Chain A
Amino acid sequence: MRVRIKFSKTGCLKFIGHLDVMRFFQKAIRRAELPVSLSEGYSPHMLMSFAAPLGVGKTSSGEYFDLDLKEEIPEEEILERLNAQMVPGMHAESCVRIGITKAEKCMTLVNAADYTVSFRKGSVMLPDPKQLQEKLNSFLSAPSVIVLRKTKRSEAETDILPWIYEMNVTELDDRTLADHPQGTDAERTAFHMLLSAGSVSNLKPELVMNAFSEFAGFDLSALSLLIHRNDIYTNIGTAENRELVPLDRVSRIQMDRT
């Protein structure tokens, strides 16, 4: 059976890089003694795949990986056994059974991700909320937002505007501030953004924030940003009429439809 695990990564775990997170879960799964399927060959490895890597320094409440098991186990039991092997800052949020075709793999499904971007207290001088909202409105209604986008292979000027699906200013309330996933004092003003993600058009929130701060005329250093990924989505609608659902709800919705 194949299951999709949703997990959160907060607190000091944000300093653990993607490869180390993968290795952490491989070990946790072995400690949980889950009957995983292994690849063939002399150095067999677990059949697991992660949806989208999260950069060092970022936290998340919606990370995903798929895992193949060679025996049937109730999803709740998998979740329970896995959570018995976590460390503070890492928690498995849900476990759902999914189909086993290539098209249903989490990595293939990723189309969008949403983020809360807040600011380390005192690290930034933001315009007042009303002005900020006006600036944001004109930023989003500009004909284009051209930025230099660096990938591993190349650098290219790209219009990122079509990849910003939603972006708005929010005010963090006391409770949210107290439970800040980064465990740090943050400014009350924050941004919420829903961005294109995946292998073709991946947009990082820091790139958006940099473009916006330049547009709005306030200074921003890379270290002022506190980036939290809320969830990762797939598009079950069309390119024009997006219908985004979190990765752990895809199979249920598809099942309901058929």
Chain B
Amino acid sequence: MRRLALSDEILLSIDKPARYIGNEVNAVDKSASPELGKMIRFCMCFPDVYEIGMSHLGIQILYDMFNKREDVWCERVYSPWPDLDKVMREKKIPLFALESQEPVRSFDFLGITIQYEMCYTNILQILDLSGIALHAEDRGEEDPIVIGGGPCTYNPEPIAEFFDLFYIGEGEVAYDELFDLYQEKKRTGMSRRDFLLRASRIEGIYVPQFYRASYHEDGTLASFGPTEEGVPAKVRKRIVMDFNEVSYPDAPIVPYLQATQDRVVLEIQRGCIRGCRFCQAGMIYRPLREKNVERLKRQAEVMLKNTGYDEISLSSLSSSDYSELNELLTFLIRICNDKGINISLPSLRIDAFSLDVMSKVQDVKKSSLTFAAEAGSQRMRDVINKGITEEDILGGALEAFRGGWNKVKLYFMLGLPGEKEEDVRDIAHLCEKVAECYYDNIPKEERTGKVSITASSSFFVPKPFTPFQWARMDREQEFLDKAHMVKDEVRSMLNQKSIRYTYHDAYISVLEGVFARGDRRVAQAIEKAYRKGAVFDAWTEYFDEERWQESFRECGIDPYFYTARERDTSELLPWDFLDCQVSRDFLIREWKRAKEGAVTPNCRQRCSGCGCRVYNGGVCYESQD
């Protein structure tokens, strides 16, 4: 029988012990293989609680792909919840991987996917509980190579000193090179340092300890570059160009616990044609690459069969832009309806087509429709290049109301560059117009109660590799003033009783802003906050604003230097050494056009010369196919 790392006494005294036992359907166990001793042991980590981590598609893709290699056994680990964290520290139990239940510290690699900034302290928790030194330079020959990947690595600097390597770009491309090199290390007894030096020459691999930064007196970056010979000055991201043949799991792991994303996830395309200026994903995943519809049909069937899920969801940044959506959905409806399998359709533009599809797969009375309006006024939507007009929103809402829906969600951002008071108030006005659209057009006898409009604002955080990477971010009081302004304006609306308005935590947004565009000096504040007890910062019940303010003060770091300061386009940015193929010229052009309120057409309408044509594929070459 499998031995668990935690005793019954511990497992029965904590919440949801199923988080820590592994043994799920489709989990890979290579413990009985005679080749085990020769395998590279890779522990893949999502630094948040199990139910969140298990919902992440990227880990499922890489877990499956790594385990297809006979000389690699990839396992998983997630952040122990605070109840177990406490027990592990008290009893000095080292953090372990779910499959083998063996200590993470005994692995060859610890791979951490970094999806959002607020998980940074959880990364330190993982290292700490594993017994691995927090700083890469303090690690010994026997320690695992700690490698980071995911969207936050497009500015890895605030967490650079905690990692041996970063993998910049899409995970499917360069791992074979890295594993082959590691096998060579094992064979030849190469030192850790030599391995890292060799790894730094693999395209897409960044080894922070071989780079140094210097700063001007005003705090801005003066220089940044490699300290060792042969280490490249620029690290270029890796992306998948053969998107039809790329590895995708036929049998994803099925957790016992209900994960946040408890369904089959079918990735239909990667990238986005829209070019919204605030959206980092829309820039770093360029160019748009679609998956062949026949392959998707096969994948959907196989994954449903192998998991037994009763729901399938399409994944992409903007599903409506998938050119064979109609055919795919017709197929899915056919295979799913008689088996009682739900189809969930996020990121779909609300129009006659999508409403028709949704009415076939959802209970109209219960479901709500979501409009990502992002801004209240047309002027602001033009500034951010959100290619959606008020007519689109009201037209979509009208169609939806006629189709029987009466619940609408609207998402907005506050604090966008160049935002004025009237833009802020227009959020309330847009909500009011949607409510009026219902009462003006749906006759009393056809209404199924009041219309319900839920509007929520997040606070805008400028991200690297977007045209807004130079923008000034609001301070929390400015955010809150704007949110209150919207709230007051909503209250003065005729249909205020039908509108509910909520907004995010302002200080958390400021912190995200610091981490998103911070430099290496920010690391000490992250470590200090962790030492003071910060962990699970993405969870409001554990987030403590005071602790962070103290940490910044004690480290002599002014968070607003990183957030509330517009940068000149000539300033050297901490992430400038990364080459994302979306050119700096393009981003500067877009930043200028944003200030003029000029809309840039999407990739299918006209190429705007972002620089991604060099990849020789995707949407850039669609018509030439």
Which residues of A are interface residues toward B (Cβ below 8 A)? Answer: 11-13, 15-17, 20, 23-24, 26-31, 33, 38, 42-46, 56-57, 85, 87-89, 120, 182-184, 223
Contacts and interface: CB of A to CB of B under 8 A. Distances in A.
Main secondary structure of the interface of B (DSSP, over half): loop
Contact of B23 (A45, A87, A184, A223): A87
* Interchain residue pairs A-B with the least CB separation, the first 5: A27-B308, A42-B363, A30-B308, A44-B340, A31-B308
A20 B363 contact: no
B456 interface: no
Most chain A CB within 10 A, of B9, B23, B306, B362, is at B23
A4 B4 CA distance: 32
A182 B2 CA distance: 11
B308 A12 contact: no
Contact of B256 (A11, A20, A31, A42): A20
A33 B306 CA distance: 10
5 contacts: A26-B308, A27-B309, A30-B310, A38-B340, A183-B1
Given A24-B25, A56-B12, A223-B9, 14 more contacts: A11-B1, A15-B18, A16-B18, A23-B256, A26-B308, A27-B25, A28-B25, A43-B342, A44-B340, A56-B17, A88-B23, A89-B23, A183-B1, A223-B8
Interface string B8-23: 1101110001100111
Interface in B276-332: 304-310
B334 interface: no
B339 interface: yes
Given A23-B258, A120-B8, A223-B9, A12 B340 contact: no
Given A15-B17, A44-B340, A87-B25, A182 B254 contact: no
A35 B304 CA distance: 15
B366 interface: yes
A31 B258 contact: no
A98 B210 CA distance: 71
A26 B306 contact: no
A31 B251 CA distance: 11
Contact of B366 (A12, A29, A42): A42
B12 A12 contact: no
A162 to B, nearest CB: 30
B99 to A, nearest CB: 12
Interface in B352-408: 362-363, 366
Contacts of B366: 42
B8 A17 contact: no
B18 A27 contact: no
B335 interface: no
A28 B308 CA distance: 6
**Which of B12, B21, B340: most chain A Cβ within 10 A?**
B340
Q: Which has the most chain B C-beta neighbours within 10 Å: A12, A20, A31?
A: A12
A184 B9 CA distance: 11
Contact of A20 (B9, B258, B308): B258
B340 A45 contact: yes
B178 to A, nearest CB: 32
B12 A223 contact: yes
B256 A24 contact: yes
Nearest to B24: A87
B607 interface: no
A46 B339 CA distance: 10
B87 interface: no
Interface in B234-252: none
B555 interface: no
A22 to B, nearest CB: 11
Given A17-B18, A27-B254, A184 B8 contact: yes
Contacts of B23: 12-13, 87-89
B257 interface: yes
B308 A16 contact: no
Contacts of B22: 12
A27 B24 CA distance: 12
A8 B342 CA distance: 30
Contacts of B9: 223
Contacts of B308: 26-31, 85
Contacts of B254: 27
Contacts of A29: 308
B284 to A, nearest CB: 35
A16 B25 CA distance: 13
A12 B25 contact: no
Contacts of B4: 12
Contacts of B11: 15
A120 B22 CA distance: 23
Contacts of B1: 11, 183
